[in-house]
């Protein structure tokens, strides 16, 4: 009896030790995707991940090829009434105005300073680019990072009063965790500014700077007084939208993803490129249907317009995620 007890105790201790080491990671995976209802999108995600991670399954994908790409605006965080980066531009123009007395009479800056955003933003691409360059160029990459971090810590959404990083979607945070725990490398592929996102994506999404792809301005390496810097020029480098997304995916990542998540026409080609590869592929569109908890918009929206994806989601075998029906929580808890 004594012997049996000793054996059991010892067996327990050994097993427990092994168990702790084996399971530390998988504990976090209990009940994945808790903020997703048990509807089709969640089922499809679980089914896909279980298929491609099952060794021996003909659809098994080695970890090196488990690349998942996510649009940011409207897919990982909200994008209404305008892209959050626009608030950054506006706040920066106000901050910089004392150094630019000429802006008082110069559009689109004059409208911004008067608080007339509608006029400022209704003049098309050229004035918008001028505002981008005035606020994003002319400093070093390190200075810009500091500016973004200071802003994102303080700034609040004009309608919800939340910090912008609290307007990331809880179900998508759970999805990123779930994919990462299953050996996926998760990338952001966004029309937003690459250097606008990188300072905070690691702490907010668990996505490091080298896994962030976005639009960019040109930069230049300079040594001033013996101190090197990468200086941000006031010149466009790349727009990471529509056909640009597969191009940027190829340039930054170098393989075709097996999962893609988007929400607007700007993501169509990224989903098309991802899901037209061989083997199991997964494409999902976030459909903004919840005016109570978030926003409801698609075909007629100026921001995040979605029509072609809605029309072709069936024939392409993509999953349409209906925010109102499929998510029990929207924003980060």
Residue of 253, 296, 303, 310 that binds a second copy (CB under 8 A) = 253
Rounded least distance, CB 77 to a second copy, Å: 19
Site string for a second copy, 33-72 (x = CB under 8 A): -------------------------------x--x-----
Rounded least distance, CB 234 to a second copy, Å: 16
Number of residues that bind a second copy (CB under 8 A): 45
Q: Which parts of the chain fold into alpha helices (H)?
A: 2-27, 40-52, 84-96, 109-114, 117-121, 125-136, 141-154, 170-181, 194-205, 244-252, 268-275, 308-312, 323-326
Q: Is 126 in the site for a second copy (CB under 8 A)?
A: no
Nearer to a second copy by Cβ, of 125 and 221: the residue is 221
Determine the Cα–Cα distance for residues 25 and 46; give it in Å rounded to an integer: 18
Rounded least distance, CB 39 to a second copy, Å: 30
3-state secondary structure of 261: strand
Determine the Cα–Cα distance for residues 197 and 212; give it in Å rounded to an integer: 8
Cα diameter, the chain: 94
Site string for a second copy, 184-203 (x = CB under 8 A): -x--------xx--x---x-
Residue listed under structure tokens 């005016």? 291
Q: Is 230 in the site for a second copy (CB under 8 A)?
A: yes
Nearer to a second copy by Cβ, of 25 and 31: the residue is 25
Beta carbons of 70 and 189 less than 8 angstroms apart: yes
Contact set for a second copy, span 9-28 (CB under 8 A): 9-10, 13-14, 17-18, 21-22
Rounded least distance, CB 319 to a second copy, Å: 19
Structure tokens at 304: 């995040």
Nearer to a second copy by Cβ, of 42 and 66: the residue is 66
Rounded least distance, CB 259 to a second copy, Å: 15
Nearer to a second copy by Cβ, of 15 and 291: the residue is 15
Nearer to a second copy by Cβ, of 60 and 81: the residue is 60
Determine the Cα–Cα distance for residues 175 and 326; give it in Å rounded to an integer: 13
Determine the Cα–Cα distance for residues 235 and 238; give it in Å rounded to an integer: 10
Residue 295, CA distances (Å) to 72, 82, 160, 285, 287 in order: 16, 12, 12, 15, 10
List all residues 6 or more positions away from 215 whose beta carbon is below 8 Å from its beta carbon: 190, 191, 192, 193, 194, 237, 238, 239, 240, 241, 244
Residue of 246, 262, 266, 304 that binds a second copy (CB under 8 A) = 246
Residue of 219, 264, 265, 280 that binds a second copy (CB under 8 A) = 219
Q: Is 290 in the site for a second copy (CB under 8 A)?
A: no
Q: Is 269 in the site for a second copy (CB under 8 A)?
A: yes
Beta carbons of 139 and 146 less than 8 angstroms apart: no
> Which stretches of the chain bind a second copy, using CB under 8 A?
6, 9-10, 13-14, 17-18, 21-22, 64, 67, 141, 185, 194-195, 198, 202, 208-212, 216, 219-221, 223, 227-228, 230, 243-247, 250-255, 269, 272-273, 276
């Amino acid at each position: 009896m004594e012997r049996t007890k000793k054996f059991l105790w010892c067996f327990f201790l050994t097993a427990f030790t092994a168990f702790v080491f084996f399971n530390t990671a998988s504990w976090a995976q209990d009940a994945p995707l808790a903020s997703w209802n048990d509807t089709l999108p969640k089922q499809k995600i679980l089914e896909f991940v279980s298929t491609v991670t099952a060794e021996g399954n003909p659809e098994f994908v080695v970890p090196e090829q488990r690349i998942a790409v996510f649009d940011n605006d409207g897919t990982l965080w909200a994008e209404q009434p305008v892209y959050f980066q626009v608030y950054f531009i506006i706040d920066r123009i106000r901050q910089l105005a004392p150094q630019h007395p000429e802006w008082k009479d110069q559009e689109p800056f004059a409208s911004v300073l008067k608080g007339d955003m509608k006029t400022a933003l209704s003049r098309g691409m050229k004035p918008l680019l001028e505002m981008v360059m005035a606020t994003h160029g002319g400093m070093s990459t390190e200075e810009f990072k500091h500016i973004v971090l200071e802003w994102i810590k303080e700034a609040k959404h004009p309608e919800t009063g939340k910090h912008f990083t609290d307007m990331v979607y809880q179900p998508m945070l759970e999805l990123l965790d779930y994919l990462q725990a299953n050996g996926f490398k998760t990338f952001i592929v966004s029309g937003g500014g690459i250097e606008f996102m990188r300072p905070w994506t690691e702490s907010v999404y668990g996505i490091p700077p080298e896994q962030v792809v976005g639009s960019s301005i040109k930069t230049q390496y300079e040594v001033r007084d013996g101190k090197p810097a990468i200086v941000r020029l006031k010149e466009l480098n790349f727009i990471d939208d529509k056909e640009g997304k597969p191009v940027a995916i190829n340039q930054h990542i170098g393989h075709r993803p097996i999962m893609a998540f988007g929400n607007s026409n700007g993501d169509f080609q990224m989903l098309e490129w991802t899901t037209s590869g061989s083997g199991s592929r997964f494409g999902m569109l976030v459909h903004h249907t919840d005016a109570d908890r978030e926003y409801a918009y698609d075909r007629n929206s100026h921001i995040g317009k979605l029509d072609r994806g809605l029309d072709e989601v069936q024939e392409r075998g993509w999953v349409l995620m209906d925010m109102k029906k499929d998510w029990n929580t929207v924003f980060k808890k």
